[in-house]
Amino acid sequence: MCGRFALKNPRAIKVAFGLEEMPDLPPRYNIAPSQDIAIVRFSPAGRHLSLAHWGLIPSWAKESDKSYSTINARAETVDSKPSFRVPFRDHRCLIPADGFYEWHEEGGVKQPYHIGRRDRAPFALAGLWDLWRGPHGDVLSCSVIVTGANNFMRPLHERMPVILDPADYERWLDPDNHDTAALKQLLAPPPDDWLTAWRVSRQLNNPRHEGKVCDEPVDPSDEA
């Protein structure tokens, strides 16, 4: 699954994602479910960055219940689950990140790890969005698609977020691309040699904690 990630260098995503305009976003080291996160969508004027609630609220929901357990969509069933079927066909997005976190049990303690690209470059998590229209306004929301772990991630967790190849961004965002079978082929784990990982402070466990303390490597003895 993917339950926490980071966007520590938001200025880098304008070039990485081909954005025409870029709002002034603060660095984020501990992005958690139910918070608003940056998503990149297609628009006729070029790719556009918006903020969306992390936890997809289906457009057909009777209420804008933000407690929906839809922070993640499984790649294997994204084209068949009622909450995700239409967004997968029509409402795909890129979710900018430069790291994500996973927990691994070590000595009876769940130890968080930061995972990112070896070159520290930003990357795109495959995402879905939907728009719930209510009497008090619209709610834009999203989910991160997850898949089976690659060989690098498997010692930490059996699942991981889908990291899209930049060469596939255009196909993924194209609103006229409704070939769901071909789109599902993009939802594979990245090559093993893309990624690196390190232990981080267990302060990450609390989503109220922010800043570099959530990202800096720690020695196992530091928190014994």
Mind listing the pLDDT tens digit for each residue in 78-98? 999 999 999 999 999 999 999
Positions annotated as catalytic residues are 2, 102
Pick from 14-23, 182-191, 213-222: least confident = 213-222
- What is the longest distance spanned by two Cα atoms in the chain? 54
* Least confident piece of the model among 62-71, 91-100, 103-112: 62-71
Centroid of chain to Cα 223: 28
Buried b / exposed e over 85-95, threshold 16 CB at 10 Å, is bebbbebbbbb
Cα distances (Å, whole numbers) of residue 202 to 24, 125, 196: 29, 24, 19
In sequence order, the 6+-apart residues with CB closer than 8 A to the CB of 188 are 147, 162
Whats the size of the chain, residue-wise? 224
Structural domains of the chain in order of their starting residue, each with its CATH number: 5-223 (3.90.1680.10)
pLDDT digits (tens, 9 = 90+) for 20-54: 888 899 999 999 999 999 999 999 888 999 999 99
Which pLDDT belongs to residue 2? Answer: 82
